[in-house]
Amino acid sequence: MRKTHKEPFIRISKRGEILPPWKAWGIRGIALVGSLVLCAIIIYSIVELNPLKVYGAMFNGAFGTNKRGWVTIRDTMMLLCIGIGLAPAFKMRFWNIGAEGQILMGGIASAACMVYLDSALPNLALLPLMFILSALAGGIWGFIPAWFKAKWNTNETLFTLMMNYIAIQVTSYFVALWENPPGSNSVGVINPQTKAGWFPEIFGEMYTLNVIIVLALAVAMFVYLNYSKQGYEIAVVGESENTARYAAMSVPKVIMRTMLVSGAVCGIAGFLAVSGASHTISISTAGGRGFTAIIVAWLAKFNPFVMILISALLVFLDRGAIEIASQYNLNDYVSSMLTGIILFFILGSEFFINYQVKFRSNKEVQA
């Protein structure tokens, strides 16, 4: 018994040509619109509000007042900062899932400076010190798994993941140590009177310094990745370790150095979170942004400037969803849910950029 088969209905093949950028971004745009429509449907089914009004309310939540606008900017800068930190690691194909831990360690270093030094140093000296120590703390936290990876090829995905939980416990320890008031199991706002270690207001805005620091980091990282010798080494190691060895690079050294940089920038994000935003530390200082930022860096193909757009979009959604949640008496988690949906769509859309789908009639379908 030998059967004959029909030609398959759908055929998938790799695109022969790289799509021009406008087409690729067009596909991503379609995915984004699709996901927004789905989100609108979900929100509608929960709160039964005209979807357009929903987005109006979300916009209001994100930019409705000057203060809200600045909070949105602050959060965008935070997410962007972590994304910038992760970019070199991921470009090297080093799965640094440990940004959460690196942020927390940076945050602890900052908080420790604020608690112990208080007004012993002028803010002008204290802030740079905190910056450096946070970077160092985050860098060390990133370096540890890198050392084992370089030495024994220990799986970094799981190592960095575990380092997050170790960092959370370290944070809990310090929260218990610095508890204020006693018994509250939280640190409370540090230095509320002296404001030592707080970012100063610049041009009358609290978060100007956050923007300056992160944008400077974005430019620096762009230059580092694209124009420095070390950035070139990162790219080669990420593509092929054999090629890197052939080109006389020391792969272990590149891995360790890059993770030091990656962890340090994430540590600086912790500094921003403590000094430039909450003025306290808790186990939710990182708040899952270390994971979200992976997706930011990945989708932006490690380009810091594209990351600005993606971070802004995600934070806009987050702030907007929180606004809707409070207006309609829902809880904040709705924003993670919506973020997830949008990311699913964008992730899926990459397929249509890299592959083409043909149906049986051989008509080409431009997805």
User: How far, in Å, CA of 274 to CA of 104, rounded?
Assistant: 10
Helix (H) or strand (E) holding 7: none
Q: Provide the minimum distance between the beta carbon of 161 and other proteins in the complex, in angstroms, as a whole number.
A: 6
The nearer residue to other proteins, 116 or 227, going by C-beta atoms, is 227
What is the nearest approach in angstroms of other proteins to the Cβ of residue 298? 5
- Identity of the residue, 99 or 213, whose beta carbon is nearer to other proteins in the bound complex: 99
Phi then psi dihedrals of residue 14, to 5 deg = -70, 140
Residue 139, both tokens: 């860098």
Minimum distance between the CB of residue 50 and other proteins, rounded to whole angstroms? Answer: 21
Alpha-carbon radius of gyration of the chain? 23
8 A C-beta contact, residue 12 and residue 355: yes
Among candidate residues 239, 290, 299, 249, the one with its CA nearest the CA of residue 269: 290
Which residue, 66 or 362, is less far from other proteins as judged by CB? 362
Q: How far is the CB of 85 from other proteins (least distance, A)?
A: 16
Measured distance CA(24)–CA(29) in Å, rounded: 9
DSSP conformation class of 205: B
Q: Which of 165, 194 has the CB closer to other proteins? A: 165
Please return the burial class of 130, using the count of CB atoms within 10 Å of its CB with bins 0-12, 13-18 and 19+. Answer: buried
Dihedral sign of CA atoms 80, 165, 336, 208 in order: negative
Name which of 329 and 361 has its Cβ closer to other proteins.
329
Closer to other proteins at the Cβ: 80 or 97?
A: 97
Output the smallest distance, CB 359 to other proteins, in A. 14
Residue closer to other proteins (CB basis): 18 or 125: 18
Report which of 341, 276, 283 is spatially closest to residue 314, judged by C-alpha positions.
341
Q: How far is the CB of 206 from other proteins (least distance, A)?
A: 28
Task: Tell me the closest approach of the beta carbon of residue 1 to other proteins, in angstroms.
Answer: 9
Spatial separation of the C-alpha atoms in residues 348 and 256, rounded to whole Å: 33
307: which residues sit within 8 A by CB, 6+ positions away? 80, 83, 84, 87, 218, 296, 297, 300
Closer CB to other proteins, 47 or 127, in the complex: 47
- Find the shortest distance in angstroms from Cβ 266 to other proteins: 16
Task: Give the rounded distance of the alpha carbon of 272 from its chain centre.
Answer: 13
